[in-house]
Amino acid sequence: MDSLASIREFITGLLEMKGVPSDVSDTEPLLPTGLIDSLDVVQTVLFLEQNYGVDFSVRPFNPDDFESIESIHRLVE
């Protein structure tokens, strides 16, 4: 599975646990619209660190990186 598909699967899983339909597009705003919240961002950070080696202890945290599935994917790339 490529990284975009893996990230999409993770985010849609988070949304489904909250009762949000999982048909979110890759460009749909997540954090700005409240589809994901700060706890979801923490879970996503852990997912990215464990699966893609993104090290947030050396990379400045930027909420814009979590605006959409596409922006999260850009962070990994």
Give the span between the Cα atoms of 45 and 61, in whole angstroms.
Answer: 10
The single-letter code of the amino acid at 20 is V
C-alpha 58: how far from its chain's center? Answer: 19
* Of residues 51, 34, 50, 43, the one with CA closest to residue 14: 43
Question: What is the model's pTM?
Answer: 0.91
Residue 20 pLDDT exceeds 90: no
Count how many domains the chain has: 1
Give the span between the Cα atoms of 56 and 64, in whole angstroms.
Answer: 14
Residue 20: CATH number of its domain: 1.10.1200.10
Residue 22 pLDDT exceeds 80: no
Domain of residue 47 covers 3-76
Q: What is the pLDDT of residues 31-77, one digit of tens each?
A: 989 999 999 999 999 999 999 999 988 888 889 999 999 999 999 98
